[in-house]
Chain A
Amino acid sequence: MKKLWKGNEAVAESAIAAGCRCFFGYPITPQNEIPEYMSRRMKEVGGSFVQAESEVAAINMVYGAGGAGARAMTSSSSPGISLKQEGISYIAGARVPCVIVNMMRAGPGLGGIQPSQSDYFQATKGGGHGDYHMLVYAPSGVQEAADLTYKAFFKADEYRCPVMILGDGMLGQMCEAAQIPEFVDLEKLPKKEWAASGNNCGKQRIINSIYMSPDTLEAHNRELFDTYKQMEKDIEAELYKTDDAQTVIVAYGTVARIAKAAVDALREKGVKAGLIRPITLFPFPSGIIKKAAAEKHVRKFLTVELSMGQMVEDVRLAVDGLKPVEFFGRCGGNIMYPEDIVQRITGGKE
């Protein structure tokens, strides 16, 4: 049954539904409803909630719980996610499955508490030290946030890697009707033979990311990247009115909804616009964008973001010079209106 859910709370409840029984958080706006909700809900489902002493500690608690085989999660917002980067690097290196939620706010530094998409580089390019990536999902509404959070736990276990839900303050704070996925039966989930869960029956399991021999470490890193290659089967993107589009907007998350309204407004004016909305940001739907770039009817791309231009670099790499790629962004916590995008595309000409 659909209910009215706040984005942050839908993410939290969906994590519980997916079998998350260990949550470690630290207060930071605009994601506070996630730890608040978890502090109540974990008691009801027999799970564990810890308000950690810092984001640094919280992500390391996730490393411990995930490493011991539990479905574990932490959430934060931009400055807090920066603090977690060391831990995320260890988690990626040690191949510990977990889910990390970033409800982005504007930066750099302490920045502001209004929505932003300026952590795209950090989320998709590694963020911490070393060669690694996370699977990154970018929901654009509350229902999708619930669905992708749920899926994230399964993908984390499948690939033994951290999965990030990359939302923003708008998504975290908005209320929409949504249905939380069905509760998983924890007993039916596949056993994690690799997990350092204690009862090892004489076969030691080690969770670590230290490889002192360059050859061993290179082999380990190559294995990680083989996994990232496998993730390409999970690439998701929404195509909206792109069949005959001359201008293709590329936007993700909440901004894609603004862009969708702009596409409709442009179509009413007779401008053939369309939208590609990446749902996975890593791996990036380069193939889908490249295919669009090769279409005769497509004349140009406009990447729209709440940043000074981050995802636009991946769009340019995908388009590979076939068509012009332009950029339109707002930042600092400001949001564009659909009319702003329309204006950017028509140049004010009717």
Chain B
Amino acid sequence: MPDFTKPALLTDTPLHYCPGCTHGMVHRLIAEAVEEVGMLDSCVGIAPVGCAVFAYNYFKCDFLQAAHGRAPAVATGVKRATPDNLVFVYQGDGDLASIGMAETVHSATRGENITVIFINNGIYGMTGGQMAPTTLAGQKTTTCVSGRDVKEQGNPIRICELLATLDGPAFIARTSMHDVKNIRDTKAAIVKGFRMQKEKKGFSLIEILSTCPTNFHLSPKASLDYIRDEAVKFYPLGIFKDVDGKGGLK
């Protein structure tokens, strides 16, 4: 078994994320994946608006910070200007599935050769726990304190299923961070997305079910259990589009 060491792409900056938040682990998986596909020297990240706005403090690669929802458009510009770079976008659910829906759908349908890492924790984290487009029915947030009533506030959106109807995307998968097996699957999905980008196969998106213990008002452990017991029921894990046709995450 190899030694557990810090990935080459990560800096030593202490994470500003809340205890129990899964952002830090996903950052690590991205860093490992970039290294695994051999793109350490040719990699550009796009940071979102939200808790991960300072993602560039934790990675050593070049970064652009995008306006709320616009990260896939910014990534499109970067990729068109420098097609040989590995370009990845890091977005939350409010950013990607609400204000940035047009950019999400159209970068996907263009088959833009970028990889979107989509953190779905069902809530607006940085602004203090408001309802997100992905908030589950019945889930309590600061803008639906009695729980999301789908008759009043509408239904949550399943992004992977929606994007899988398009011909543009090359790889669409949903994974979770709630236990070790699923964390490993998440890593494998990110590696696969990056590899497909490197092979110029087109748009890839990995939706990662994540936690926000602070705004879930749950302990880190209870937050992970909540993802396992509740979120996965509405957001089934798996591969929704794979132009490689091999199936599986490898």
Chain A residues with a Cβ under 8 A of chain B: 21-22, 24, 48, 50, 52-54, 56-58, 60-70, 72, 86-87, 90, 94, 196-202, 204-210
Contact = CB atoms under 8 A, between A and B. Distances in A.
Contacts of B61: 198, 200, 204
From B46, B59, B81, B84, residue with most partner A Cβ within 10 Å: B81
Contacts of A68: 44, 64, 77-78, 81-82, 85
B191 interface: no
Contacts of B73: 52, 56-58, 60-61, 63-64
Contact of A67 (B41, B67, B78): B78
Given A53-B102, A57-B102, A204-B61, A67 B70 contact: no
B170 interface: no
Contacts of A208: 47, 56, 63-65
Interface residues of B, number: 37
Secondary structure class of chain B's binding surface, majority of residues: mixed
Contacts of B75: 64
Contacts of A58: 73
Contacts of A90: 66-67
Contacts of A210: 53-54, 65
Interface string B68-104: 0010011111111110111000000000000000110
Nearest to A64: B77
Interface of B: 41-44, 46-47, 53-54, 56, 59-67, 70, 73-82, 84-86, 102-103, 105-106, 110
A52 B102 CA distance: 10
Closest 4 CB pairs of A and B: A64-B77, A208-B65, A70-B81, A60-B73
Contact of B81 (A52, A69, A199): A69
Given A196-B63, A204-B61, 14 more contacts: A22-B81, A57-B76, A60-B73, A61-B73, A63-B66, A63-B73, A64-B77, A64-B80, A65-B80, A68-B81, A70-B82, A197-B62, A199-B85, A210-B54
